[in-house]
Chain A
Amino acid sequence: MSSENVRFTDFKSDKQPTWCPGCGDFGTMNGMMKALAETGNTPDDTFVVAGIGCSGKIGTYMRSYALHGVHGRALPVGTGAKLANPDLEVMVAGGDGDGYSIGVGHFIHAVRRNVDITYVVMDNRIYGLTKGQASPTSRSDFETSTTPEGPKQPPVNPLALAMSAGGSFIAQSFSSDALRHTEIVKEAIEHDGFSLVNTFSPCVTFNDVDTYDYFRDSLVDLSEEDDYDRHDYDQAKDAILDADKEYMGVLYQDENSTPYHEAHGVTENMAEIPDGAPDGATDLVREFY
């Protein structure tokens, strides 16, 4: 399949999603598929990695090379795959629990490593698949089955975590704003380095606070703010730490950051190896004389 005639439906598998009708994950996934097609990728050269959760099922519903891994570890898998074959378009997806709870350590390190992968987090501020417990992005007073009086801890701010770890592309989108979401993911794919797209993908079954209406009414779209400059670190920092508002768009981008493959000279497809020991291997023995 050559990239010119790829359409976004080529990225759709024949498996019907088992997400609840109305789940935000549908929109998030559609945007990802469109973005992949519109940036000239094909299912053959795309590798999608997901963790565990409703969000993690995405690899099943998309048509591409994919790996559905264990809870919280999708980013390391994506990192290994991208380093082993830089020609692959590697996209990692997961939930807020997957990425910011069990996998938060990997998140910080993936950001600072700056490997050229795109990370889309379907943030519904709840654990969906395990049926409605608090997640790290749940509000501190949000009552759930395991937090009857609310978690009583402030939520994690993933954008701030990414910024503090030296993130070079930090964005937020909303699954039901299909156009903007697709655009943002496209920019993330095109960014040379690690890109975070935190996508609000409402859970219609277990979260009655962070709803479509809530996001529609409250999100401020930065592309409509004339004086917002995504390359301005201080401005980005203020927006990210702003406790009163939530933003949509690319909050920060450093186009001059050095992606991992450049910093470390990892540019070859490692799948290709000779039939025997590589040339020069005998020198390895000679070292021990």
Chain B
Amino acid sequence: MHDDLNWAIGGEAGDGIASTGKIFAQALSRAGRHVFTSKDFASRIRGGYTAYKVRTSVDEVQSVVDRLDVLIALTERTVDENLDELHEESVIIFDGDRTEFSDFEAPDDTVGLDIPLKSLAEDAGGAIMRNIVALGAVCAVTDFPIENLDESLDKRFGNKGESIVENNKEAARLGYEYVKDEYAGVENSYELETTDNDYVLLNGDEAIGMGAIAAGCRFYAGYPITPATDVMEYLTGRIEQFGGHVVQAEDELSAINMALGAARAGARSMTATSGPGIDLMSETFGLVATSETPLVITNVMRSGPSTGMPTKQEQGDLNMMLYGGHGEVPRFVLAPTSVAECFHKTVEAFNLAEKYQLPVYLTADLSMAVTERTYEPDEFDMDEVEIDRGKLVDEDEISAWQNEKDQFKAHAVTADGISPRAVPGTSGGVHMSTGLEHDELGRRTEDTDVRVEQVDKRNRKVETAEEREDFDYREFGDTDADNLVISWGSNEGTIVEALGYLDDLDVRVLSVPYIFPRPDLTEDVNTADEVVVVEANATGQFADVIEHDTLERVDRINKYDGVDFKADELADEIKQTLEA
């Protein structure tokens, strides 16, 4: 029996797919098992095909695979959509009482379990619980202690009252017993071992929200957009407990300007959006940089251009974040490569923004943002969070930064490019900030020397950061190998898993969380025999950057159909590319 189990629930949007999936994922995580979830959702609220997949193992899991062991099919289409991934031990749970399933037969070489989900749910107190009946059935098939599911139901429905919780537990039990009674032999087809490990289960958007609060962010303004909305939903209701506030702005133009206003007033401040929203924010992005305001702008990428495929995966905005906006604008771009790193890089983004007084793009791709993963809780150790507010000056320090007329030099030209920062309310620090080119006092100028001095000063921050910060990459695989695979964003986990399928092909993998400033890969690229850059876009935007930096041609593996890389598939592509 494999311990590595792939389970899915699929149906129409509106069928409660995501919450059912999450209940089971949480039960597994609480039972000390690793979990990796992925969602396939269409951009509509009702109808269409939606699925929630859960991969679970006692070992760490970092990606999806092409195999489905247990499937709850709420619609017949769910089975069709997953035919390729079914195998002879796959168990399909469906409700033959539903008219659409009346002629249904489970595909050859799979095990179909026809369970009257709806009527059992009614017995337990309401048809709405049919998904929970199905989860009970899954427990029976996988020999998973139903008590663990009960705990999850307590957590999910606890605030709705005792009787709702009890009804749901009863629904699960009816499903469980139905399998034991009617399908003896199929029960215990799989065995999901439990352990004493304590894990937490969260997705990238949640990790970003949690990182923001940990970093002392107290103001957030945003406008809803898939797949960034979860960041706002996470912060709403939580940030208030830490003296913060969330505003749902009227649009992205307003969101970034509100965030800018709060940042000028001294708050650690953030906005989050996805590609189209970044387009709208571009004008103000330049103002943030020119006025030297610390601001974190999160871009949860989805498939573009234009409205593109809003619920699908892509890493297509790298060029926009690197080069977007009119004029030349110093900015940092951080791209966490795992859910846990979303937390750490968010904290870092706030520190960098304040230390260097510039806009920091923090970017996750859709897959990472919506994918839940298990971690040891100490991966999110709050005691390790450090806050560095940079050159934020108080009343006493201000005099060192005043000119002979006691005017505060908010844009003082310094060797490291970083000026002092005084927030409104600080006595003696009065100054104006503007998007116009300005002198050290912030006053408009078109003086050629001052212009050059200020541009150089702002750009110097990047050089300073390159000297002082550790813009490194992560390395794994065979570190002596001549073949080099480079990746950014959520592909890391898939590549780690793909290594297992590469047989005798040795590769060294670099996963790069810093897009700008970024580690210098010249040496690595020049000394490798073959180099391939893996990314979820059509043109290879990161590969272009590497070619530009290293003056070497690199190979590319690109995927832009909206679907995540899968480990086994990717391994094949890497083999083909490197051995070609």
Q: Which residue numbers of A lie inside 8 Å of B, CB to CB?
A: 1, 13-15, 43-47, 49, 59-60, 63-70, 72-73, 76-85, 87-88, 105-106, 108-109, 264-266, 268-271, 273-278, 280-282, 284-286, 288-289
Residues of A within 8 A of B473 (CB): none
B430 touches A76 (CB 8 A): no
What are 25 A-B pairs with beta-carbon distances under 8 A?
A: A46-B424, A65-B264, A65-B432, A66-B433, A67-B261, A69-B260, A70-B257, A73-B254, A76-B258, A81-B264, A83-B258, A84-B219, A85-B423, A88-B425, A105-B254, A106-B250, A265-B240, A271-B266, A277-B216, A278-B214, A281-B213, A281-B242, A284-B210, A284-B382, A289-B30
Given A81-B262, A270-B266: A277 and B382 within 8 A (CB)? yes
Residues of B within 8 A of A83 (CB): 219, 245, 247, 258, 262
Measured CB to CB, the closest approach of chain A to B251, in angstroms, equals 7
Given A87-B425, A271-B265: A284 and B283 within 8 A (CB)? no
Residues of B within 8 A of A285 (CB): 200, 210, 377, 380, 382
Measured CB to CB, the closest approach of chain B to A11, in angstroms, equals 10
Tell me, in angstroms, the Cα distance from A80 to B264 when the chains sit together. 9
B387 touches A76 (CB 8 A): no
Residues of B418-434 at the interface with A, using a CB-CB cut-off of 8 Å, are 423-434
A77 touches B429 (CB 8 A): no
Tell me, in angstroms, the Cα distance from A77 to B432 when the chains sit together. 14
Residues of A within 8 A of B259 (CB): 80
Residues of A within 8 A of B431 (CB): 65-66
Q: In this assembly, does B162 line the interface, its C-beta being within 8 Å of a C-beta of chain A?
A: no
Given A285-B380, A285-B382: A44 and B261 within 8 A (CB)? no
A88 touches B424 (CB 8 A): yes
B424 touches A65 (CB 8 A): yes
Measured CB to CB, the closest approach of chain B to A116, in angstroms, equals 14
Set B198, B262, B433: member contacting A270, Cβ < 8 A: B262
Measured CB to CB, the closest approach of chain B to A15, in angstroms, equals 6
Given A15-B443, A78-B261, A282-B382: A105 and B251 within 8 A (CB)? yes
- When C-beta atoms are compared, the residue in chain B nearest to A86 turns out to be B265
Measured CB to CB, the closest approach of chain B to A206, in angstroms, equals 22
Given A70-B283, A273-B268: A81 and B426 within 8 A (CB)? no
B253 touches A67 (CB 8 A): no
Tell me, in angstroms, the Cα distance from A64 to B387 when the chains sit together. 29
- When C-beta atoms are compared, the residue in chain A nearest to B258 turns out to be A80
Interface centre among A44, A73, A76, A80 (most CB of B within 10 A): A80
B250 touches A45 (CB 8 A): no
- When C-beta atoms are compared, the residue in chain B nearest to A74 turns out to be B257
Tell me, in angstroms, the Cα distance from A7 to B244 when the chains sit together. 35
Q: In this assembly, does B238 line the interface, its C-beta being within 8 Å of a C-beta of chain A?
A: yes
Tell me, in angstroms, the Cα distance from A112 to B29 when the chains sit together. 45
Q: In this assembly, does B272 line the interface, its C-beta being within 8 Å of a C-beta of chain A?
A: no
B423 touches A271 (CB 8 A): yes
B433 touches A273 (CB 8 A): no
Residues of A within 8 A of B219 (CB): 80, 83-84, 270
Tell me, in angstroms, the Cα distance from A14 to B439 when the chains sit together. 14
A79 touches B258 (CB 8 A): yes
Residues of A within 8 A of B382 (CB): 276-277, 281-282, 284-285
B387 touches A289 (CB 8 A): no
B428 touches A270 (CB 8 A): no
Q: In this assembly, does B468 line the interface, its C-beta being within 8 Å of a C-beta of chain A?
A: no
Residues of B within 8 A of A81 (CB): 261-262, 264-265, 424
Measured CB to CB, the closest approach of chain B to A2, in angstroms, equals 10
A44 touches B425 (CB 8 A): yes
B253 touches A73 (CB 8 A): yes
A77 touches B258 (CB 8 A): yes
B434 touches A67 (CB 8 A): yes
A45 touches B424 (CB 8 A): yes
Given A59-B434, A68-B435, A276-B387: A270 and B258 within 8 A (CB)? no
Measured CB to CB, the closest approach of chain A to B127, in angstroms, equals 31
- When C-beta atoms are compared, the residue in chain A nearest to B214 turns out to be A277
Set A65, A268, A284: member contacting B430, Cβ < 8 A: A65
Set B257, B377, B386: member contacting A73, Cβ < 8 A: B257
